[in-house]
């Protein structure tokens, strides 16, 4: 079905409306998870979903599920993303995924289109991990990758636990959730194509120190790109940090985060021989290196049927597409362990994400939402056909 079309103006308006909740002077958003600002945007989401006739529930990790029933009593097709942001995040990462799913659902409701499977928009808690580390703990608990008690005991910098923060914002929605199928989420991470799978990713903590006491930006990513705006008066100098990040990049490290006196790096290429290369690179710079593996995400591939639905949706919508590999962390990675999943990616200007300068155009956002809608319709038809075939075989 190609005659259902999302409303691009409405989607864009809601992106701008929610951006005011925690908006920063530089045009970004600071809306950390389980804060008062997060509660405000959650209440906004709940109100919009209930206007569409959805039943909104929340689980023990604060994940919100807005469900519209289908004609069959089967697990829902769920799609969405997250509404929490980085401390200096943009308007689109996570937000676009959640609001695009909401717009797709609204399009179905306005058309009176009844799906075979229930449709559910999801707002995941703490995807970013900016307040409570690690990231994606709520989807990790949902997928039984992480223990709930452990996740709820995570503390922020002030010593408040995840559980206490959840209680503090008083989510009085109904509790409960079921098994899901996922087409989740829309993201705008450094690509201009659609599709998805995740590669092996390992994070190492590198204690790299040098006695320098000049101003240093809070973060440097992707070689020499400065991503932070909070300046320090200790640690590595800007010049040294850029030099070291470029050197480490040459050793096969894809993400470099420079903080006071240390560097954390992601090795997203499983074949990179950076262990052997690091000492040779760092010693001439007067650096000492101590390396410890602190996190690893094994390679995985998304469900073939879900990915095929996204491919067909892009083609039917008249957009070019190709499959990609993403090394970034996504809730869909956890969910894919317990339900079929795929992702839709949307372009962002200059490849910049997790930054106040992050930007996707109105047209790009609309295309992503349209592909998401078409993919859900395609996947729902597939489920209906399989359900009918199963009935006939009895």
pLDDT (0 to 100) of residue 147: 96
Q: Tell me which of 259, 281, 296 is where a domain ends.
A: 296
Please tell me whether residues 115 and 12 are part of one structural domain.
yes
- Other C-beta atoms closer than 10 Å to the C-beta of 250 total 12
> Is the model's pLDDT at 288 over the cut of 60?
yes
Q: Between 387 and 113, where is the model more confident?
A: 113
Span 189-203, average pLDDT: 31
List the single range of 39-43, 102-106, 259-263 with lowest mean pLDDT. 259-263
Write the CA distances from 345 to 86, 169, 377, 378, integer angstroms.
19, 31, 18, 18
Please tell me whether residues 280 and 338 are part of one structural domain.
no
**226 confidence band (pLDDT: 50, 70, 90):** very low
Residue 2 in domain: no
Residue 1 in domain: no
List the single range of 104-108, 136-140, 205-209, 375-379 with lowest mean pLDDT. 205-209
CB 187 within 8 A of CB 345: yes
- Reported as a single tens digit per residue, the pLDDT across 290-343 is 666 656 666 788 899 999 999 999 999 999 988 877 767 789 989 998 889 999
pLDDT (0 to 100) of residue 186: 43
**267 confidence band (pLDDT: 50, 70, 90):** low
Residue 31 in domain: yes
> Is the model's pLDDT at 229 over the cut of 80?
no
- Reported as a single tens digit per residue, the pLDDT across 115-168 is 999 999 999 999 999 999 989 999 999 999 999 999 999 999 899 999 999 999
Q: Tell me which of 296, 315, 333 is where a domain ends.
A: 296
Please tell me whether residues 194 and 257 are part of one structural domain.
no
Please tell me whether residues 72 and 118 are part of one structural domain.
yes
Residue 123 in domain: yes
Please tell me whether residues 168 and 27 are part of one structural domain.
yes
Strands 119-124 and 77-82: parallel
For tokens 């209440």, name the residue.
43
Please tell me whether residues 231 and 194 are part of one structural domain.
no
- Reported as a single tens digit per residue, the pLDDT across 343-385 is 998 888 888 888 899 999 999 999 999 999 999 999 999 999 9
Global pTM?
0.77
Q: Tell me which of 257, 273, 296 is where a domain ends.
A: 296
> Is the model's pLDDT at 40 over the cut of 50?
yes
Please tell me whether residues 80 and 132 are part of one structural domain.
yes
Please tell me whether residues 165 and 38 are part of one structural domain.
yes
Mark out the alpha helices in the chain (DSSP H runs): 8-19, 36-51, 95-111, 137-142, 148-152, 162-168, 238-250, 274-282, 304-317, 331-335, 362-392
> Is the model's pLDDT at 208 over the cut of 70?
no
Please tell me whether residues 292 and 246 are part of one structural domain.
yes
Q: Which structural domain, as residue segments, surrounds residue 136?
A: 8-198+300-392
How many Cα atoms are found within 13 Å in the side-chain-facing hemisphere of 37? 17
Please tell me whether residues 90 and 124 are part of one structural domain.
yes
**217 confidence band (pLDDT: 50, 70, 90):** very low
Please tell me whether residues 255 and 370 are part of one structural domain.
no
- Other C-beta atoms closer than 10 Å to the C-beta of 26 total 11
Provide the CATH number for the domain around residue 44: 3.40.630.10
């Amino acid at each position: 079905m190609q005659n259902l079309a999302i409303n691009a103006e409405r989607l864009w308006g809601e992106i701008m409306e929610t951006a005011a909740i925690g908006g920063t002077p530089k045009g970004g958003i600071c809306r950390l998870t389980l804060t008062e600002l997060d509660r405000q945007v959650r209440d906004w989401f709940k109100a919009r979903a209930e206007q569409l006739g959805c039943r909104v529930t929340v689980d023990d990790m604060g994940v919100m599920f807005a469900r519209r029933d289908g004609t069959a009593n089967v697990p829902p097709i769920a799609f969405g993303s997250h509404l929490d942001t980085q401390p200096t995040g943009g308007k689109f990462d996570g937000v676009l995924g959640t609001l695009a799913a909401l717009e797709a659902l609204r399009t179905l409701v306005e058309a009176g289109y009844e799906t075979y499977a229930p449709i559910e928009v999801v707002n995941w808690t703490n995807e970013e991990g900016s307040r409570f580390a690690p990231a994606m703990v709520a989807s990790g608990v949902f997928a039984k990758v992480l223990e709930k008690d452990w996740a709820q005991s995570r503390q922020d910098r002030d010593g408040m636990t995840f559980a206490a923060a959840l209680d503090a914002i008083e989510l009085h929605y109904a509790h409960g959730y079921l098994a899901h199928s996922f087409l989740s989420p829309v993201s705008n991470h450094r690509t201009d194509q659609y599709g998805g799978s995740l590669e092996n990713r390992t994070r190492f903590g590198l204690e790299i120190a040098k006695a320098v006491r000049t101003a240093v930006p809070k973060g440097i990513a992707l070689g020499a790109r400065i991503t932070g705006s909070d300046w320090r008066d200790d640690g590595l100098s800007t010049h040294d940090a850029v030099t070291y990040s470029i050197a480490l990049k040459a050793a096969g490290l894809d993400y470099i985060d420079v903080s006071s006196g240390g560097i954390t790096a992601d090795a997203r290429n499983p074949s990179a021989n950076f262990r052997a290369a690091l000492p040779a690179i760092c010693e001439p710079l007067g650096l000492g290196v101590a390396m410890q593996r602190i996190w690893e995400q094994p390679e995985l591939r998304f469900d073939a049927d879900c990915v095929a639905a996204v491919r067909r949706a892009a083609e039917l919508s008249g957009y070019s597409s190709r499959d990609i590999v993403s090394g970034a962390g996504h809730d869909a990675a956890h969910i894919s362990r317990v339900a079929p999943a795929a992702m839709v990616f949307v372009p962002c200007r200059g490849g910049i994400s997790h930054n106040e300068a992050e930007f996707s155009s109105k047209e790009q956002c609309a295309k992503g939402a349209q592909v998401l809608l078409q993919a859900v319709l395609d996947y729902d038809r597939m489920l209906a056909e399989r359900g009918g075939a199963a009935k006939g075989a009895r």
